[in-house]
Structure 1
Amino acid sequence: MNGATVSRRAFGRFLRQIREQAGKTALAAGLEIEVSRQTLLRMEDGLATKIATSQLRDLLAYYDAPEEIRVQALSLWDEVREQAKSAQQQGNSKGFWRPYSDQYEAHFPHYLRLETSARRITVHQMILVPGLLQTADYRRGVIRIDEPDLSAVDLERRIELTARRQARIDEDRFQLDVILSEAVLCYRPAGPSAMSAQLSWLAEVGNRSNVSIRVVTFEVGAHRGLTAQSFTMLEFPKLQNGFVDPPVVYVEGAHGLGGVYHEREDVVRKYGRTIVALREVALTEQKTRDLVMRYAKEYAA
């Protein structure tokens, strides 16, 4: 997604604002256009639904939306539909992850949709190297922790999916900011040689202009990251017509089995303050590379 398009999330948020300002419930609005409450909420959550343009017109009339709001909503809807049509023609409307659907939990495509749309991702990780920066052998080690009996074929398909995700860091307009606890450098989900290679890659990729990697050392003591734990903040491009797709904070659940998405402005701001506090105590990028390479050499010894 680029700045010239309107995401389904932003469009859905706009519709929700119109409904709430009209004082209508999702149940009543759904009944008005003969769809379920769940279908309407899915549209407001930015998920694809089978609602027709005529139904959207009826919905806006039910909300008694002013004419200028109706025109804007229908214009944005047309753009969302054109964007979806273009993606379908290019063969990527389902997402690159679709062929691997048997290799991930049902919740994961939602996260991947956000990840592929984000212009900036900030990751705070207490335990593991973030997926966007994991080497193949390190990733194999992580997967084997929970699924030691996974077949070699399925294991490699998951590695392929990770590689597809990692193509994002080759995009100049994409920014990845990573703040790691020093513990990430110490934990060993893979063998010494794999750990050495993983940390060497962190030092190398951290030289890219669109990738920032900084470590919070054990010497820092008490800091905001200890209570915030691991999380990911995703920020999106500005949209046309003054629309802004607000940031989302994702906190992963245990064993990768779902997680929590925070979109409330006050909650996102709190995580934003945590990121600022972490940057204040983290090593510089150069000192981080020096520390990471010291660990890499120790693993290689």
Structure 2
Amino acid sequence: MPAGGRPTVRSRRLGTALRQYRQAAKLDQVEAAEIIAASQARVSRLESGHVTARVIEVRLLLDAYGVTDPEVRSKLEDLAKHSKNRGWWLEHAEHLRPDYLDHIALEDDATYIREWQPVLVPGLLQTSAYAEAVIEATPHYIAPERIAHLVKVREARQAKIEEGGAAYTAILWEAVITQPVVNAGTQREQLSKILEVGKRKNVTIQVLPFSAGALAGSTYAFSSFSFESEPTVEAVTMENLRGTSVLEAPEDLAAYSNAFDQLRSAALGPEASAQFIRGALRSSKENPS
């Protein structure tokens, strides 16, 4: 059973895929249960992610469902093998919400990460000073020692990008660059880091200008994740006051994939965005406050 009795991101992804392939094969859960010599209840719990399928169960089910693509089969077998593996973030579980752990697990597995941020610099790009400032500003009281721990976790997440473990694209609304929510010194340090990280081959940073109009207000901040060699969106996360929501329904994924494409098309290109950020940084240095 996944840790804590709740579905993990990996067990849920596996279960969702098994359910979709079963339905495509026009089999019900009773028939699936017969294939693996188990109860219907077990199949239901496998598909909900509350228990993790064994590799042999995955193979038997995929055979029965007519799934022959070796890449798909390998992916699902790997999810079965590694769904219970302890990621580095679980060492910090006592300090983190379960939904935030899910977000980090998605980041860690992803081959493509895309983010839209109309207000704050994304966590994967934040300096420690910027992270501390925005965490302190949350409406809920957070003890100073926990703030320090959350900043360290945010820094640890950035290794995924720094080590080239995923292709990363961030689209920032112009306000993120020119209307800072932190003091001037912290913002200058932050802009410098964005420019530095943006030089990496696996990183693309674009700025959506005010001239794009109402498009910036079409959706709140979100992150999308892909787990294969192609950038097909397979999960989306959104933060709110109550935590982080994970979206996996096909219609949700299609909507957010389309939204990101529209934002990217309206944004400045990577080089023009870098020039814009350099201009904002230069202006801040010339007019310190």
Residue pair 1:27, 1:37 contacting (<8 A) in 2 also: no
Residue pair 2:236, 2:248 contacting (<8 A) in 1 also: yes
1:182 alignment counterpart: 174
CA distance in 2, matches of 1:79, 1:262: 20
Deviation readout 1:119-151 (Å, 9 max, x if unpaired): 111111111111100110100011111267533
Instruction: Give the AA of the match of 1:294.
Output: G
**Structure with the greater relative contact order (CA < 8 A, sep ≥ 6): 1 or 2?**
1
Residue pair 2:12, 2:48 contacting (<8 A) in 1 also: no
Instruction: Please tell me whether residue 229 in structure 1 is matched to residue 228 in structure 2.
Output: no
1:133 alignment counterpart: 125
2:28 alignment counterpart: 24
TM-score by length of 2: 0.77
Q: How does 1:258-277 map to 2 (within 5 A)?
A: 258-264=244-250, 266-277=251-262
1:211 alignment counterpart: 203
CA distance in 2, matches of 1:218, 1:56: 49
Residue pair 1:138, 1:190 contacting (<8 A) in 2 also: yes
Q: How big is the shift at 1:25?
A: 4.2
SS in 1 for 2:172: strand
2:155 alignment counterpart: 163
2:270 alignment counterpart: 285
Q: How does 1:1-301 map to 2 (within 5 A)?
A: 11-20=14-23, 21-25=25-29, 29=33, 33-34=38-39, 35=41, 39-43=45-49, 49=51, 51=53, 60=61, 65=64, 79-80=77-78, 83-84=81-82, 93-146=85-138, 149-172=141-164, 174-223=166-215, 225-238=216-229, 247-255=233-241, 257-264=243-250, 266-300=251-285, 301=288
Deviation readout 1:220-247 (Å, 9 max, x if unpaired): 2233x42133222211224xxxxx8952
Q: Compared with structure 1, are the counterparts of its residues 291 and 80 closer, same or farther at alpha carbon in structure 2 (3 Å cutoff)? A: closer
Deviation readout 1:134-184 (Å, 9 max, x if unpaired): 110100011111267533322221111111110011233521111111111
Equivalenced residues, count: 273
SS in 2 for 1:176: strand
Q: How big is the shift at 1:195?
A: 0.9
CA distance in 1, matches of 2:253, 2:32: 30
Residue pair 2:117, 2:222 contacting (<8 A) in 1 also: yes
Q: Compared with structure 1, are the counterparts of its residues 155 and 295 closer, same or farther at alpha carbon in structure 2 (3 Å cutoff)? A: same
Residue pair 2:15, 2:46 contacting (<8 A) in 1 also: no
TM-score by length of 1: 0.74
Deviation readout 1:79-120 (Å, 9 max, x if unpaired): 438843xx98xxxx2111112112222212222221111111
RMSD: 3.7
SS in 2 for 1:180: strand
Q: How big is the shift at 1:27?
A: 12
CA distance in 2, matches of 1:78, 1:284: 36
